[in-house]
Amino acid sequence: MKPLKLLILGGSGEAADLARALDGDARYDVTLSLAGRTKDPALLPGTLRKGGFGGAEGLARALAEERFDLLIDATHPFAVQMKANAIDGARVAGVPLLAIRRPAWSPREGDRWIMVESLEAAASAIGQDSRRVFLTTGRMELAPFRKAPQHFYIVRSVEAPASDELPPRMELITARGAFNVEDERALIEAHKIELIVTKNSGGAGAAAKLDAARALSLPVIMIERPDLPEAPSVETVADALAWLERAHGRASSA
Ligand SMILES: NC(=O)c1ccc[n+]([C@@H]2O[C@H](COP(=O)([O-])OP(=O)(O)OC[C@H]3O[C@@H](n4cnc5c(N)ncnc54)[C@H](OP(=O)(O)O)[C@@H]3O)[C@@H](O)[C@H]2O)c1
């Protein structure tokens, strides 16, 4: 039997973990698709394609023309557009879809979270008085904070934002997770950070800053998850691998 052609929509830790878990597995021929925002993405096994498909129709066309058998949407929890495109594209092309949707973080005892619905609301929730803010929302999403220039921002992102996108008073840290709690605590203390702004991405890789904030009794402005369209989904890479096993079992007995 020929290997099953799998397209993974990437841009998350799960996508990378899934690509690594399938490395050398002759049952699958894996292509990992990235939006192309990161110039220098982590090296991963499998075929890599970069850049958009051209909406749901473009994705449906690529699925059909390149004869993909399976689609896994492993995009970031805030990548709402691509999640919708995955559902529509898979339906039109008649390709089975699975989404990996990691659970959101929820507050624990000792947490001082301020829940907000948007980046704009996060920027205004910091308040009028000048604060030292640890900003981990991603380099594409700094515009609302430029409108709150009274604060000093410690901006952490995987790659440096364009200089005209940065808030006027800031220090940039480029780093790729996962992060550990000791280092997060040391960073918070060294930079005299007074509060943290983050999206509720969930997952282990970025959670250490929340543990450090709890230990230091620091407030966290938490941008809540967007509403996501319904799709067949699992929470973990292990469950996605089990779904693939089942798909392979069905194809080999057909
Ligand atoms: N949003 C975040 O907070 C965040 C955080 C970390 C990582 N990321 C990752 O960064 C990428 C872009 O995120 P976003 O929020 O801008 O996405 P989005 O708003 O949901 O998608 C915008 C467009 O980007 C293209 N795209 C997105 N993911 C793609 C993929 N894996 N392969 C090919 N094209 C893709 C699609 O273009 P076409 O319509 O032309 O196909 C899509 O319509 C995603 O892969 C996401 O997982 C996002």
| Peptide bond preceding 208 in cis form (omega within 30 of 0) | no
| Residue ID of nearest Cα to ligand 1 atom 45 | 11
Mean pLDDT along residues 147-165: 94
Q: Is the pLDDT of residue 139 over 90?
A: no
What pLDDT band is residue 178 in, cutting at 50, 70 and 90? confident
DSSP state of 217: T
Q: How far is the CA of 80 from the centre of ligand 1 (A)?
A: 8
* Predicted local distance difference test score (pLDDT) of residue 177: 86
Mean pLDDT along residues 49-76: 98
Distance CA 106, CA 137 (A): 17
Using only the alpha carbons of the chain, give its radius of gyration: 20
The mean predicted confidence, pLDDT, of the chain is 96
What are the b/e assignments for 220-253, b being 16+ CB within 10 Å? bbbbebeebeeeebbeebeebbebbeebbeeeee
* Predicted local distance difference test score (pLDDT) of residue 226: 95
Q: Is the pLDDT of residue 1 over 90?
A: no
Indicate if ligand 1 lies below 6 Å from the C-beta of 70.
no
* Predicted local distance difference test score (pLDDT) of residue 41: 86
Residue 100: Cβ within 10 Å count: 25
For the segment 94-134, what is each residue's pLDDT rounded down to a tens digit?
A: 999 999 999 999 999 999 999 999 999 999 999 999 999 99
* Predicted local distance difference test score (pLDDT) of residue 249: 96
Distance CA 154, CA 188 (A): 9
Q: Which two tokens stand for residue 117?
A: 């619905």
To the nearest 10°, the Cα dihedral for 83, 123, 121, 128? 180
- What's the one-letter identity of residue 155? V
* Predicted local distance difference test score (pLDDT) of residue 39: 84
The residues near 111 (Cβ < 8 Å, ≥ 6 apart) are 210, 213, 214, 220
| Residue ID of nearest Cα to ligand 1 atom 36 | 52
Query: Are 167 and 130 within 8 A, CB to CB?
Result: no
What pLDDT band is residue 230 in, cutting at 50, 70 and 90? very high
Q: How far is the CA of 45 from the centre of ligand 1 (A)?
A: 20
Give CA 110 to chain center in angstroms: 26
* Predicted local distance difference test score (pLDDT) of residue 136: 96
Residue 77: Cβ within 10 Å count: 20
In total, the chain counts a number of residues equal to: 254
Give CA 88 to chain center in angstroms: 21
Q: How far is the CA of 36 from the centre of ligand 1 (A)?
A: 8
* Predicted local distance difference test score (pLDDT) of residue 209: 98
**Percent of the chain as helix, strand, coil, to the nearest 5:** 35, 20, 45
Query: Are 119 and 141 within 8 A, CB to CB?
Result: yes
Distance CA 107, CA 163 (A): 34
Mutate-to-test residue for ligand 1 from 82, 88, 92, 157, highest number of ligand atoms within 8 A of CB:
82
* Predicted local distance difference test score (pLDDT) of residue 173: 96
